[in-house]
């Protein structure tokens, strides 16, 4: 009987059929999976080019990447557009500028600091998110098959360029917030129908194939943004499983103002561990407001349903989020979106989001940066 059980276990390990959390429970072993902490600091080189000064909580000037590392960060996420020079002017004013030259330089800087790199492919010339996944200008007349070929070629060429620059990413996102598909309208999906799942999964496969060829040791993330809806999240990853898509990590966005309260996130994470036990989960985007000052997109009381729009409110959110994520063994990454926002110097973006980790008036670090460190604590 023991020999049979051991054979089953060894077979499961060999084919990747048991996750580390399951093996840990079976053999009563500690779960030693690495937890990554970081943020999407894609606009940091632009701030540094403008001479923006980052400060610690006491007001002392610091180097941003060094300071993040001192606060427990070991990975930086960077977005990559196909051709951001073709982005609408309003999007450029929001920070759309990351072409391959920009990203390769920044990626090398990150690696030289001894940090890991997550490369986030936006298969668009501008923001790719739940409300838009525009086909890049140079792919505009492509057929379905040509779009798949372009995803493969662009992904492969970009990764080869990153490797040549000394900036090979440890983590690669194939698409950004693609719950509703990508490369619209060709790859757009409707969760109430079966249309277009085949083409979307072929597009994803084209990207992951290039990742495996160029960066075989890198982990592949498939990123969605419906942490507040288990039904939609489940449907998406079930379709990937049905189509046998190759990836390693489920990536989620979680913003309390859009994705409901922490209890809903908790239920989604519990369900992911139950239905997809062989996939780690990372929160690859999160943030909360500390102000609406000079914010052209929000009114003073907007998004205050769960947390006050204040430094204390942002800190409260961060504490609760970290405590919640530490309960889930399947959660192995936490990344803050746009932590580098800092309007204390020359203008870099048109208006302030006020969801970063530095005060836009003083450039000083906010308390949430310190709270995030606790995610790494065992």
Tokens of 17: 């059929």
Q: What is the DSSP letter of 75?
A: E
Predicted local confidence at residue 234, as pLDDT = 97
Q: What is the dihedral of CA 327, 328, 333, 335, to 10 degrees?
A: -60
Tell me whether strands 54-55 and 61-62 are parallel, antiparallel or unpaired: antiparallel
C-alpha span between 139 and 116 (Å, rounded): 31
Cα separations in angstroms, 108 against 72, 86, 192: 20, 25, 43
Predicted local confidence at residue 1, as pLDDT = 52
H or E element: which one contains 280?
strand 280-286
Tell me whether strands 331-337 and 219-224 are parallel, antiparallel or unpaired: unpaired
User: Between helices 197-214 and 230-242, what is the axis angle to 10°?
Assistant: 70
Reading the chain (378 residues) residue by residue, the pLDDT tens digits are 545 544 444 444 444 444 444 444 444 444 567 899 999 999 999 999 999 999 999 999 999 999 999 999 999 999 999 999 999 999 999 999 999 999 999 999 999 999 999 999 999 999 999 999 999 999 999 999 999 999 999 999 999 999 999 999 999 999 999 999 999 999 999 888 778 999 999 999 999 999 999 999 999 999 999 999 999 999 999 999 999 999 999 999 999 989 888 999 999 999 999 999 999 999 999 999 999 998 887 777 778 888 999 999 999 999 999 999 999 999 999 999 999 999 999 999 999 999 999 999 999 999 999 999 999 986
H or E element: which one contains 25?
helix 20-27
Cα separations in angstroms, 188 against 41, 180, 191, 195, 292: 28, 6, 10, 9, 33
Longest dimension (CA), the chain: 70
Domain ranges of the chain: 1-32, 34-376
Distance of CA 329 to the CA centre of its chain: 19
Q: 34-376 domain in CATH 3.20.20.80?
A: yes
Cα separations in angstroms, 13 against 17, 330, 332: 6, 17, 20
Would the CA dihedral through 287, 63, 52, 159 be positive or negative? negative
Q: Confirm if 83 and 137 have CB atoms less than 8 A apart.
A: yes
Q: Whole-model pTM?
A: 0.92
C-alpha span between 321 and 333 (Å, rounded): 12
Segments in 28-95 forming alpha helices (H): 44-49, 64-70, 89-92
């Amino acid at each position: 009987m023991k020999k049979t059980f051991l054979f089953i276990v060894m077979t499961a390990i060999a084919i990747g059929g048991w996750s580390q959390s399951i093996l840990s429970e079976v053999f009563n072993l500690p779960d030693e999976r690495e937890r990554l902490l970081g943020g999407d600091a894609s606009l940091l080189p632009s701030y540094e080019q403008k001479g923006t000064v980052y400060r610690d909580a006491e007001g002392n000037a610091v180097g941003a990447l060094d300071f993040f590392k001192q606060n427990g960060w070991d990975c930086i996420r960077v977005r990559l557009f196909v051709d951001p020079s073709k982005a609408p002017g309003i999007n450029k004013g929001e920070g759309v500028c990351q072409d391959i030259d920009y990203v390769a330089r920044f990626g090398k800087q990150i690696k030289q600091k001894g940090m890991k790199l997550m490369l986030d492919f936006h298969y668009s010339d501008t923001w790719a998110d739940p409300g838009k996944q525009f086909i890049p200008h140079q792919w505009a007349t492509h057929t379905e098959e040509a779009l798949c070929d372009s995803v493969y070629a662009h992904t492969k060429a970009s990764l080869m360029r990153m490797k040549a620059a000394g900036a090979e990413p440890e983590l690669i996102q194939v698409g950004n917030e693609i719950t509703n598909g990508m490369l619209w309208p060709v790859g757009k999906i409707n969760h109430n129908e079966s249309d277009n799942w085949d083409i979307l999964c072929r597009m994803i496969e084209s990207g992951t194939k290039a990742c495996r060829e160029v960066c075989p040791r890198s982990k592949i993330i498939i990123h969605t943004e419906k942490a507040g809806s288990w039904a939609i999240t489940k449907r998406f990853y079930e379709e990937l499983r049905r189509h046998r898509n190759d990836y390693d990590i489920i990536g989620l966005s979680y913003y309390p103002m859009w994705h409901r309260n922490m209890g809903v996130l908790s239920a989604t994470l519990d369900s992911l561990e139950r239905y997809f036990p062989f996939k780690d989960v990372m929160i690859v985007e999160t943030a909360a407001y500390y102000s609406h000052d000079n914010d052209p997109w929000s009114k003073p009381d907007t998004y205050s349903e769960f947390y006050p729009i204040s430094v204390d409110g942002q800190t409260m959110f961060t504490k609760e989020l970290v405590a919640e994520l530490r309960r889930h063994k399947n959660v192995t990454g936490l990344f803050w979106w746009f932590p580098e926002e800092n309007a204390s110097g020359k203008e870099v973006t048109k208006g302030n989001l006020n969801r970063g980790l530095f005060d836009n008036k003083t450039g000083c670090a906010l308390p949430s940066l310190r709270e995030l460190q606790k995610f790494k604590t065992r």
